[in-house]
């Protein structure tokens, strides 16, 4: 009895240690995750708002005439418009005028141009225009430029601060939600740069990836699991599919570069090629998930169907596959989520080009979310720092959504036999 | 060994549905069935009895080639149904299974509606031309399986939602619906209560008017009640095969006697 008790204490201690290690590991993982998210949010949240300035613009017919559209002196019109709030400044002095109009984003003139092109009757009228400020003023407004820094180390000099404060005192500065983050394509100017191009590119790439890897993956899995004879060859294929799933993604990128772009002459930077490349990587995941799902269908169902005289393919397509579908879909979504975050192969096929419009088709040049993050992370402008974090948050949101759908599917279609 | 009725005499042949000759079954290297010869008569209930693991299910599954689906399983010897070698290369197991239906030990309805469970066989075999005919086939089959009254109001609910006994009767209905000529039943009543068992036994009784029924059972009483012929298996051998009456009252082999009286099992 005593020995048992002694042994029991020892066993309990061992159990405690094991549990402790487990809890510790989970705690560590959660801490790391928390730090990651917290750091992303703390730098990224600024990018979800954008400082705007609202100015009265007189669309001067002397600068802008209907015949010349879309050309015209939009820049000068804007700079005069800013000037009206600073009567003491001599706008004929080019240097002073440039300092003043630098408050406006470079995109302001294009916005004005588009408005006038759309509605030429604006010429000669005074309109109210709300445009993003340029990046340094955005930084200033968000408190990222410290006014106490000595002037020579500051991006904005004292007069520029005063100019901004004047506009702020007039109530012309606001900081609304940055819808441009999702609705603009990439730009050299951080205040104009958005994720639309990347989102569209990722969408085309994932669509291509899905349309290719889903049918091929399921087909291959069904053949291997249900029809292929079990022999050395099928073992060999199985091992190689598992290997394929473990091949580093950069290798697929090199392969795609050589084959799709080199041999087949498909366009560089195209989401279609990106999708093909991602399909190579997603397919093994789908095959493995599908085979597992097919295997999980109980043999009694197959026997039942065979027993009433169903053929092999009837058994597979009328009974086994429908029951395996939730598992297959879960695996597919997880595979696509992996593909969404994949960066290296897309860099290799040139999906990190600087492209300022969203792709209209899968064959147009585009970036994808992860490569856009890569590009922004590489950009020197201060404004891209918070945008990089914001883009990562957007990517994470998509990944979490996809994984949540996968989990939902799994629990919704929980075994019902 | 028992004395097999010599096949070939013209008179017998009309009566004999299934003939097995020198059947051997192997799972990999282990032999599960040894030298089984048996003639199963038409419009008769034949019971297979014997201790667990003696190969009853294995032999039963040879009769509709269900063993084909097990990779390691190998069948040797000849089995004839209506004089046709069912292991012949020209025989399609799919067609064979339409003719030789099977009810399994564990109820295994499809995770589909009750109606679809029963309608599945007739549908894939193209046995009906329209919905009305199909409805009728389904109703007849469910009535035959003594299930109609319980499920007639919920034919579109899932078959997996029925009780174990109801599920088994659903499986019987499903097998009957394809109008097989032979019905193989592997312990069909092991999941049923006495009332459902009695219903299934009645059903078997009426089924034998149309086809030959082969039933594996662990219940001596059941074998005695419903079968005309009984085969006793032991360790992969067919020890004795005779009229049920003879087997239960006057067995030739001492092993049969010990089993029946409950001394081996
Ligand atoms: N799929 C299989 N693979 C390998 N061996 C098997 C397989 N199925 C059955 N066997 C073996 O074949 C022998 C006969 O099995 P079988 O299922 O036919 O017995 P049984 O008489 O039906 O028993 P029970 O009354 O318990 O159902 C057993 O020894 C079993 O271990
Ligand atoms: Mg059995």
Chain A residue with minimum CA distance to B162: A417
Q: Are A321 and A222 in contact, with CB atoms under 8 Å apart?
A: yes
Find out whether the beta carbon of B58 lies less than 6 Å from any atom of ligand 1. Answer: yes
Residue B26: its pLDDT value, please? 94
**Residue B55 Cα: closest atom of ligand 1:** 18
Residue nearest to atom 22 of ligand 1 (CA): B57
Tell me, yes or no, if A303 comes closer than 8 A to chain B by beta carbon. Answer: yes
Nearest CA to A312 out of A220, A219, A222 is that of A222
Does position B116 have pLDDT exceeding 60, yes or no? yes
Give which of B17, B28, B19, B168 is closest to B104, Cα–Cα: B168
Confidence (pTM):
0.82
Q: Give yes or no for residue B79 having a pLDDT over 70.
A: yes
The stretch B221-227 carries a mean pLDDT of 92
Residue A239 Cα, gap to closest chain B Cα (Å):
21
Better-predicted residue by pLDDT, B3 or B100: B100
* Residue ranges of domains in chain A: 50-176, 196-413
CB atoms within 10 A of CB A229: 7
Query: Measured between CB atoms, does A315 come within 8 Å of chain B?
Result: no
Distance CA B110, CA A231 (A): 31
- Ligand 1 center–CA B216 separation, angstroms: 13
Q: What is the pLDDT of residue A414?
A: 66
Q: Which ipTM value was assigned to this complex?
A: 0.85
- Higher-pLDDT residue of A282 and B192 is A282
> Would you call B27 an interface residue with chain A, using a CB distance cutoff of 8 Å?
no
Task: Ligand 1 pocket test: pick from B33, B36, B49, B56 the residue with the most ligand atoms within 8 Å of its Cβ.
Answer: B56
For range B129-157, the mean pLDDT: 90
Whether B105 and chain A come into contact, CB under 8 Å, resolves to: no
**DSSP SS3 for A243:** helix
B70 and chain A: CB distance < 8 Å anywhere?
no
- CA–CA distance, A116 with A59 (Å, rounded to integer): 9
State which residue of chain A sits closest to B95, comparing Cα positions: A309
In the reported structure, the alpha carbon of residue B58 is separated from the centroid of ligand 1 by a whole-number distance in angstroms of 6
CB distance B27 to ligand 1 below 6 Å: yes
> Do the chains contact at B94 and A310, CB–CB below 8 Å?
yes
Tell me the shortest Cα–Cα distance from B242 to chain A, in angstroms. Answer: 28
Q: Where are the alpha helices (DSSP H) in B29-162?
A: 56-62, 93-99, 114-124, 131-144, 148-151
B56 lines ligand 1 (CB under 6 A): yes
Question: Among A78-87, B29-38, B218-227, which is the least confidently predicted range?
Answer: A78-87
DSSP letter (8 states) at residue B113: B
| Burial class of residue B102 (count of CB atoms within 10 Å of its CB; 0-12, 13-18, 19+) | buried
Atom of ligand 1 nearest to the CA of B51: 25
* Closest approach atom of ligand 1 to CA B233: 21
B194 sits in which H/E element: helix B194-207
Q: How many CB pairs under 8 A join A and B?
A: 62
How confident is the model at residue B127, as a pLDDT?
86
Please provide the CATH number assigned to the domain covering A196-413. Answer: 1.10.3720.10
At a CB cut-off of 8 Å and minimum separation 6, what does A415 contact?
A: none
Identify the helix (H) or strand (E) that includes residue A324: helix A321-341
Half-sphere exposure of A207 (CA within 13 A, CB side): 12
A304 and B104 in contact by Cβ < 8 A?
yes
The pLDDT value recorded for residue B264 is: 59
**Residues of chain A contacting B125 with CB distance shorter than 8 Å:** 309
Which two structure tokens, joined as six digits, stand for A147?
Answer: 């006014």
* pLDDT at position A20: 94
- Which residues in chain A are contacts of B106 at CB distance < 8 A? 300
**What is the residue-level pLDDT of chain A in tens, covering all 417 positions?**
777 788 888 888 999 999 999 999 999 999 999 999 999 999 899 889 999 999 999 888 888 888 877 787 888 888 888 888 888 888 788 888 888 888 999 888 888 888 888 888 888 888 898 999 999 999 999 988 888 888 888 888 888 888 899 899 988 999 999 988 888 888 888 888 999 999 999 999 999 999 999 999 999 999 999 888 888 888 898 899 889 888 998 999 999 999 999 999 899 899 999 999 999 999 999 999 999 999 999 989 999 999 998 998 999 999 999 999 888 998 999 999 999 999 999 999 988 888 888 888 889 889 999 999 999 999 888 889 999 999 999 999 999 999 898 888 888 776 554
CA B205 – CA B199 distance, rounded (Å): 10
Q: Is B103:A289 a contact under the CB 8 Å cutoff?
A: no
Q: Which ligand is nearest to the CA of B58?
A: 1
Query: Which fold, B15-109+179-260?
Result: Rossmann fold (3.40.50)
CB-based contact A308 B64, cutoff 8 Å: no
Q: Is the pLDDT of residue B9 over 60?
A: no
Ligand 1 atom with the smallest distance to the CA of B28 is 4
Q: Is the pLDDT of residue B29 over 60?
A: yes
Q: Are A331 and A410 in contact (CB under 8 A)?
A: no
B3 pLDDT more than 60: no
Q: Is the pLDDT of residue B4 over 60?
A: no
* Residue B7 predicted with pLDDT over 60: no
Q: What are the percentages of helix, strand and coil residues in chain B, rounded to 5?
A: 40, 25, 35
Which member of B69, B97, B108 has the closest CB to residue A301?
B108
pLDDT given for residue A416 in this prediction: 55
Bridge partner list, B20: B38, B79
State whether residue A304 sits within 8 Å of chain B by CB: yes
Report which protein residue has its CA nearest ligand 1's atom 1: B70
């Amino acid at each position: 009895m005593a020995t048992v008790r002694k042994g029991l204490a020892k066993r309990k201690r061992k159990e405690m240690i094991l549990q402790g290690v487990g809890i510790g590991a989970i705690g560590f993982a959660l801490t790391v995750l928390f730090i990651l998210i917290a750091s992303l949010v703390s730098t990224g949240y600024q990018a979800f708002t954008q400082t705007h300035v609202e100015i009265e613009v007189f669309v001067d017919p002397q600068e802008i005439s209907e015949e010349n559209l879309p050309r015209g002196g939009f820049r000068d019109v804007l700079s005069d418009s800013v000037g009206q709030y600073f009567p003491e400044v001599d706008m004929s002095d080019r240097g002073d005028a440039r300092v003043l109009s630098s408050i406006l984003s470079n995109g302001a003139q294009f916005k004005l141009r588009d408005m006038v092109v759309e509605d030429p009757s604006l010429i000669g009228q005074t309109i109210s225009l709300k445009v993003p400020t340029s990046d340094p003023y955005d930084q200033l407004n968000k408190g990222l430029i410290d006014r106490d820094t000595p002037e020579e180390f500051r991006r904005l000099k004292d007069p520029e601060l005063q100019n901004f404060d004047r506009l702020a005192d007039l109530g012309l500065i606001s900081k609304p939600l940055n819808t441009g983050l999702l609705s603009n394509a990439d730009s050299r100017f951080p205040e104009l740069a958005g994720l639309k191009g990347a989102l569209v590119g990722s969408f085309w790439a994932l669509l291509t990836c899905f349309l290719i890897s889903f049918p091929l993956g399921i087909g291959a899995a069904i053949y291997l699991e249900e029809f292929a004879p079990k022999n050395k060859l099928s073992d060999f294929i199985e091992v190689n599919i598992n290997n394929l799933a473990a091949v580093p993604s950069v290798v697929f990128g090199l392969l795609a570069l050589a084959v799709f772009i080199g041999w087949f002459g498909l366009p560089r930077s195209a989401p279609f090629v990106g999708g093909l490349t991602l399909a190579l990587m997603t397919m093994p995941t789908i095959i493995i998930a599908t085979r597992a799902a097919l295997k999980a269908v109980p043999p009694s169902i197959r026997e039942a169907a065979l027993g009433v005289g169903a053929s092999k393919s009837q058994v597979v397509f009328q009974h086994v596959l429908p029951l395996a579908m939730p598992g297959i879909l879960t695996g597919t979504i997880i595979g696509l989520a992996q593909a969404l975050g994949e960066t290296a192969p897309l860099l290799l096929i040139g999906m990190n080009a600087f492209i300022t419009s969203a792709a209209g088709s899968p064959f147009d040049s585009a970036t994808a979310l992860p490569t856009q993050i890569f590009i922004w992370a590489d950009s020197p402008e201060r404004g891209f720092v918070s945008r990089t974090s914001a883009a990562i948050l957007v990517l994470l949101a998509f990944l979490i959504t996809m994984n949540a759908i996968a989990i939902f599917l799994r629990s919704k279609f929980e075994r019902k036999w | 060994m028992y004395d097999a009725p010599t096949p070939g005499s013209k008179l017998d042949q009309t009566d004999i549905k299934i003939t097995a000759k020198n059947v051997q079954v192997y799972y990999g290297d282990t032999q599960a069935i040894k030298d089984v010869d048996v003639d199963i008569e038409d419009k008769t209930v034949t019971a297979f009895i014997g201790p667990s693991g003696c190969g009853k299910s294995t032999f039963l599954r040879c009769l509709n080639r269900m063993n084909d689906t097990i990779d390691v399983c190998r069948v040797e010897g000849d089995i004839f149904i209506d004089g046709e070698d069912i292991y012949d290369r020209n025989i399609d197991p799919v067609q064979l299974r339409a003719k030789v239906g099977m009810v399994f030990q564990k109820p295994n309805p499809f995770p589909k509606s009750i109606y679809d469970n029963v309608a599945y066989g007739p549908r894939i075999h193209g046995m009906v031309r329209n919905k009305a005919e199909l409805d009728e086939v389904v109703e007849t089959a469910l009535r035959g399986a003594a299930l109609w009254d319980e499920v007639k109001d919920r034919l579109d609910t899932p078959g997996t939602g029925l009780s174990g006994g109801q599920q088994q009767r659903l499986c019987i209905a499903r097998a009957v619906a394809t109008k097989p000529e032979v019905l193989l039943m592997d312990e069909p009543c092991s999941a049923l209560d006495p009332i459902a068992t009695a219903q299934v036994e009645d059903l078997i009784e009426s089924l034998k008017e149309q086809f030959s029924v082969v039933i594996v059972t662990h219940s001596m009483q059941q074998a005695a009640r419903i079968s005309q012929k009984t085969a006793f298996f032991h360790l992969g051998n067919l020890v004795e095969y005779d009229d049920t009456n003879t087997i239960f009252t006057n067995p030739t082999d001492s092993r049969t006697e010990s089993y029946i009286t409950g001394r081996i099992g």
